[in-house]
Amino acid sequence: MLNEQDLRGIFIPVITPFTPSGELDLDSYRTYAGHLVKQRIQGLVVNGTTGESPTVTWEEAAALLQATKELAKGQHIPVIMGTGTNDTAATVRRTEQAGLLGADAALVVVPYYSRPSQAGIIEHFRQAARVGIPVIAYEIPYRTGVKVTVDTMREILEIDGVIGLKDSSGGTELVSELTRFDSKPVLCGEDAYFYTSLASGASGGMLASANVRTNDFAEVYRLAQSGRFLDAKRAFDTLLPLIRLLFREPNPCPVKWLLSRQGLIASSAVRLPLCPITSSLEHELAAYV
Ligand SMILES: O=C(O)C1=N[C@H](C(=O)O)C[C@H](O)C1
């Protein structure tokens, strides 16, 4: 199981490879994730946004978790599983199942679509944390449709069993306010803000773009951790053009295209409503193959 102290460094939200006809491609997954576990990373996240959780079935996610656990075991890399939905009871059930399947922690997104009150959001996390496996809260208002305030997030982080936050709020208010008072760890989940978040108190990142040039992201983290912020910024600046391309069209379509061109997965297929990337983006991304 993961604890607060382990929530530092680079965590990779994995993609879910499909065959061109849309079936789960576990052979590709093993090649790709087998490559990732040899990089300078501190954890893997299955069934996150990058893993196309809205269109991956729970049975497929369970198969991915099992494959990931097998690959990560030898390297002692923890595996986190996305279990959050917009239904508290379903989230609790999934978090229980993730624990039984051997996940080291659950990533629980702020409940989306129904736009609950701040009190409802706190209660959602309280119930998920009661399951007994470590919970990482995930704030991503541009996807959920509801914004968690700093005070609410402070309360969520005080819940026993919640070990930290993945912050994709697209700013530095949460990370800088929360870490001012010795809070539980905050990981950056907004790739273009990675350096700024580290400089504002983040303890690492959970970053889709770190699927590519993984060790360069690890180096940005290492430099920031050793207090070499100018060097960290310079290193991060070299990654920014790639990050911008990877988020020009919906994540994870560009990342999958690049991984398939690098030969790590057999196909860049995505499930609708996600679409293959445009040829103009392909053209620009080709420089990173
Ligand atoms: O899957 C994730 O975890 C991430 N999802 C974000 C998103 O697609 O909105 C991006 C972040 O890099 C990691």
| Ligand 1 proximity of 191 Cβ (cutoff 6 Å) | yes
| 91 within domain boundaries | yes
Ligand 1 mean position to 180 CA, how many Å? 25
> What pLDDT shows up at residue 41?
98
Examine the residue annotation and report whether 256 is marked as an active-site residue of this protein: no
Task: Confirm whether pTM is higher than 0.95.
Answer: yes
pLDDT of res. 182 = 82
Q: Find the catalytic residue in 29, 32, 69, 166.
A: 166
Whether residue 69 lies in the annotated active site: no
Residues 6+ apart with CB under 8 A from 221: 9, 10, 198, 204, 205, 232
285: in domain: no
- For the chain, the maximum distance between any two Cα atoms, rounded to a whole number of angstroms, is 50
With respect to residue 185, please indicate whether it lies within any of the assigned structural domains. Answer: yes
* Residue 190 domain flag: yes
In a domain, 287, yes or no: no
Q: Which two tokens stand for residue 250?
A: 């919906």
Q: Give the pLDDT of residue 181.
A: 86
What range does the domain containing 153 cover? 4-236
Q: From the CA of 247, how far away is ligand 1's center (Å)?
A: 10
Whether a cis peptide bond, with omega within 30° of 0, leads into 273 is yes
Binding residues for pyruvate, as ranges, are 50, 206
- Alpha-carbon distance of 178 to 182, in angstroms, equals 8
Which pLDDT score, from 0 to 100, does residue 109 have?
A: 98
CA of 45, closest atom in ligand 1: 3
CA of 48 to the centre of ligand 1 (A): 7
> Cα(81)–Cα(84) distance, rounded to whole angstroms?
9
Q: How many domains does the chain have?
A: 1
Please tell me the distance between residue 208's alpha carbon and the centre of ligand 1 in angstroms.
Answer: 5
* CATH code, domain with 10: 3.20.20.70
Residue 145, C-beta contacts closer than 8 angstroms, at least 6 positions apart: 112, 113, 115
Q: Whose CA is nearest to atom 5 of ligand 1?
A: 49
What pLDDT, on the 0 to 100 scale, is given for residue 83?
98
Residue 255: inside a domain, yes or no?
no
One digit per residue, pLDDT tens: the chain, 289 residues?
Answer: 999 999 999 999 999 999 999 999 999 999 999 999 999 999 999 999 999 999 999 999 999 999 999 999 988 999 999 999 999 999 999 999 999 999 999 999 999 999 999 999 999 999 999 999 999 999 999 999 999 999 999 999 999 999 999 999 999 999 999 999 888 999 999 999 999 999 999 999 999 999 999 999 999 999 999 999 999 999 999 999 999 999 999 999 999 999 999 999 999 999 999 999 999 999 999 999 9
Q: Is any atom of ligand 1 closer than 6 Å to the C-beta of 84?
A: no
Choose one of 16, 45, 49, 274 to mutate for the ligand 1 pocket test, by most ligand atoms within 8 angstroms of C-beta. Answer: 49
Q: Does the beta carbon of 211 sit less than 6 angstroms from any atom of ligand 1?
A: no
Domain for residue 280, yes or no? no
Domain for residue 219, yes or no? Answer: yes
Decide whether any atom of ligand 1 lies within 6 Å of the 197 Cβ.
no
Residues 6+ apart with CB under 8 A from 234: none
